[in-house]
Chain A
Amino acid sequence: MPSAALLGQSLLSGIFIGALYGLLGLGLSLAWGLLGQINLAHFALAFLGAYLTYQLSAAGMDPLVTLVVIVPAFFLFGAALHWVLARFAVSAFNSLLVTFGLTVVIEAAIQWIWSADFRRLESHYADVRYRLGALYIPLPELITLALAIVLSLALWAALRHTDLGKAMRAAAEDASMAQAFGVNARALALLLSGISAALAGVAGLCIALSYTLAPSQIYAWVGVVFAVVMLGGLGNALGPLIAGFVIGVSEAITMALTAPSWAPLVSFSLLIALLVLRPEKL
């Protein structure tokens, strides 16, 4: 049995990684639930964002300031992606295949530019860690947690309480009906797809702050983040964060009690149980 401090530390790391799961899942879940766009390229985009953060920081920019460049650029990319998918009337399932193709292209581009070797962002954030009793709290993870919570809550509130958000949800349910009531569903879809891609950029920053980068790592996140998205409920802005915490913490505890390599079993067993027992909930 591990000590209380160790267990506490793994609980904390579970929360931190859960926040990143939630942040990665947020854009994915909104695009899937509200636009019917299953965007596998979300992960490649996040890594592209991470590499851009790495590159811009190496050029002397503060990592957090890189968002000023990355967020608008990714927003445009996301809007363009949806424009193409809508132009060709791509079905939800085929959007998965198209964006897989895109993933492969982006992965190749990353490998072309930055090589397949591991890259690590050197920033002044990485050295800062706070102490809370016996627990250590690294600053990069704290930034991730804060961004995930703030963005999830902001989007949740926006979708729920603003006219724009209500129009978006109406358009997601029945685009032609919403259009008949004067909602510009096409423009909203472009906006939402742009936001989703911009979120991938933010998640990329968080990945760059805490992890070593390699193009092959793109696929490492796919399974568990999809599980988070499904568990959280499609199109729900708070769902991915909550599901992310659940999965992150249960993985961390599994790792502390058994071996790290058993961790994937938790999230996927949860997902399978949910899919088989309560498919109507998804």
Chain B
Amino acid sequence: MRTIGALVAAGAALALVPLLTLPAFYESFLYLVFFWIVLATSWNILSGYSGYFSFGHGAFFGVGMYTTATLTTKFDFGFLWTLPICGAVAAVLGVSLGAIVFRAGRMRGELFALLTLAVSYVLATVILNTPIDGGPGVALSAVAVPAIGPSAPSTFYLLALAAAVITLAIAYQVQRAPLGRGLFAIHDDEDVAEVLGVPTYRYKLAALALSCALAGVAGGIHALFINYVTVGETFSIVVPLSVVLMSVLGGTRHWLGPAIGAAIITALLYAFTASDYAVAGRAAVGLILVVVILFMPQGVMGHLVRWAGRRDVPPPPQSLRSEAPIQARNGSIVLAVQGVSKAFAGVQALAGVGLEVRGGEILGLVGPNGSGKSTLINLVSGHYRADAGRIQFGGVTVEKLAAHRIARLGVARTYQIPRPFRHLTVLENVMLPAMFGHAGLPRLAAEREARRWLEFTGLAGKAAALPAELNLHQRKFLELARALAARPQLLLLDEVLSGLTPSEIDGAIALVREIRAQGASIVFVEHLMRAVMELADRIVVLSYGRVIAAGSPAEVMGRGEVVEAYLGKARA
């Protein structure tokens, strides 16, 4: 709240500038700074936070321009009334685009960039060839400028200032809110974010809608400012590229970054265009971009934040198990899988698999490589859809639910090869499932919860580190802490022991025991038979996508067909 207060105070102070009656070009210059702050910051809400770089920001900005141009000149709307409509039209366009594009789930970054670029070309062509423009452009010279400030330039100055303050406040709030945390997680690993409970599709759409709406409003204001709207200028590639440049220069992972970049670039360009060296100014901007990406890929704010972060003192550890343990429901059936099949391009990974997990038990899931263990985990956690069969969790049919819904119901998983969010600290990694998973805790409680599980897994000293600073053993335990912080009822452990040294394995086995003692049910996928025999209450053996045996560990592992599946047929 302090930041928002400071933002509003700065805005209020800047709103007094027109009273100084400076020459008009100061106001026009500052107008341009605020205008680019709005465009760059709004772009960053989707693209910087989530990593989906859009090259179509010019399209959404252009839609705003033409909405205002059309409504004021053809339908006699008052200028101010068109601004919310600009935002709405741009948001609707963005959401319809996003609904199609994001439907397929994850999309490669450069494809998204190209797609959004293509959309702006299509839009430009349509506007150019229909009565919206028709070719010659739209002149707004007859449209009245509302008398907000003492003069027309000061009116534009005040409008852009208000838009900039609102946009920055929104960017700040988004970054702090669950939406922002989810978007940052999407940036690093979208699949994992979804499995930990982040509603990735909705979040991407929400960010896109916000981003487009703000760009649309900026376009609406700008239409009257430049007074003459043409397709060539509006939809040129310069707008999206400038916005990307400003954001990258300032730093895309901080709400204030794009604003800093926008101010620097606008000032540079303005300084040069005002002189005789406009061409040199553009070259300087190009060079700056090259140098920044090469030497400072995280941007100005990225560097400041990292520099400030070094002096961050970790808070004192809290006592373990101070809060509600994972819920226990001994005996009842937690997970029921019936007749589940899954094929990949002709390979039948699972064929009619059925199994049950009871409350508080550890079910060992074993089988040779390629027998379908990981596929089963991916089906239960919702990453894949089953071709046939039913999966029920706690009495709820989950086989058609999105992964984040299943996570919220109380399923958590680890990955065999750890997949931490690279740009989030260890603490933030663990906070994410505490906020989005079954527990659904608010931020402060999530932080407490996360610290608790970091201590449980022995990572408390690494809370402020980035995952890259951890060794394999610690990354495996980070996976575990992340799954536990969701307070799951069912924990799916995918080969947590592989790659660990014998003494580390003993530690991990003790840890799994302790998790069970707190009441969670565990599906334990493992190749290391010593650990399976020690931990599992029951064992299910998969081979070629079928269950070939189930029962107590000692009994099952004694059976001939199980030994055969592992070692091949004996030739006597």
- Shortest A165–chain B CB gap in Å is 24
Q: Is the CB of A264 within 8 A of B289?
A: no
Chain B contacts with A in 106-163, Cβ cutoff 8 A: 107-111, 113-115, 117-119, 121-122, 124-126, 128-129, 135
> A84 to B244, Cβ gap below 8 A?
no
B101 at the interface (CB under 8 A from A): yes
Q: Please tell me if the beta carbons of A279 and B290 are within 8 angstroms of each other in the complex.
A: no
Q: Tell me the complex Cα distance, A259–B283, Å.
A: 37
Q: Per-residue 0/1 for A85-113: is the Cβ within 8 Å of any B Cβ (1 yes, 0 no)?
A: 00010101110111011111101110110
Minimum CB–CB distance for A261 against chain B, Å: 5
Q: Which residues of B contact A93 (CB under 8 A)?
A: 53, 109-110, 113
Contact A223 B121 (CB under 8 A): yes
Contact A90 B125 (CB under 8 A): no
A108-B279, A112-B279 known; A101 and B293 CB under 8 Å? yes
Report if A107-B282 is in contact (Cβ < 8 Å); known contacts: A275-B115, A279-B111: yes
**A132 located at the interface, meaning its Cβ lies under 8 Å from any Cβ of chain B in the complex:** no
**Given the complex of chains A and B, what is the CA–CA distance between A152 and B207 in angstroms?**
42
A261 lies within 8 A of B129 (CB)? yes
Q: Which chain B residues lie closer than 8 Å to A259 at the CB level?
A: 129
Contacts of B297 in A (CB 8 A): 94
Most buried by B among A94, A104, A263, A265: A104
**Is the C-beta of A268 less than 8 angstroms from some C-beta in chain B?**
yes
Indicate if A136 sits at the interface (CB-CB under 8 A).
no
Q: Looking at the complex, which one of A90, A111, A227, A282 makes contact with B293 (CB distance below 8 Å)?
A: A90
A269 touches B122 (CB 8 A): yes
How far apart sit A111 and B245, CA to CA, in the bound complex (Å)?
21
Measured in the bound complex, the distance between the Cα atoms of B295 and A88 in whole Å is: 8
Give the interface centre of A92, A94, A97 by most chain B CB atoms within 10 Å. Answer: A97
With known contacts A104-B282, A112-B279, A261-B125, A98–B118 Cβ distance under 8 A: no
Given contact pairs A92-B110, A97-B293, A279-B107, A264 touches B286 in the complex (Cβ within 8 A): no
- In the bound complex, do residue A100 and residue B241 qualify as a contact, i.e. CB atoms below 8 Å apart? yes
Q: Collect the chain B residues with CB atoms within 8 Å of residue A279's CB.
A: 104, 107-108, 111
Q: Find A102's partner among B101, B117, B279, B290 (CB 8 Å cutoff).
A: B290
Contact A282 B289 (CB under 8 A): no
Q: A275–B279 contact, CB under 8 A?
A: no
Contact of A226 with B114 at beta-carbon distance under 8 Å, contacts A97-B248, A219-B236, A265-B125 already known: yes
Contact with A along B293-328 (1 / 0, CB 8 A): 111010000000000000000000000000000000
Q: 24 A-B residue contacts at CB 8 Å?
A: A90-B293, A93-B53, A93-B113, A97-B245, A98-B293, A98-B294, A101-B286, A101-B293, A104-B286, A108-B279, A108-B286, A109-B283, A112-B280, A112-B283, A219-B236, A227-B118, A264-B125, A265-B126, A271-B114, A271-B115, A272-B122, A275-B118, A276-B101, A282-B111
Known: A219-B238, A261-B129. 7 other contacts (CB 8 A): A90-B294, A93-B109, A98-B289, A101-B290, A264-B122, A265-B122, A268-B118
Task: Please list the residues of chain B having a beta carbon within 8 angstroms of any beta carbon in chain A.
Answer: 53, 100-101, 104, 107-111, 113-115, 117-119, 121-122, 124-126, 128-129, 135, 236-238, 241, 244-245, 248, 279-280, 282-283, 285-290, 293-295, 297
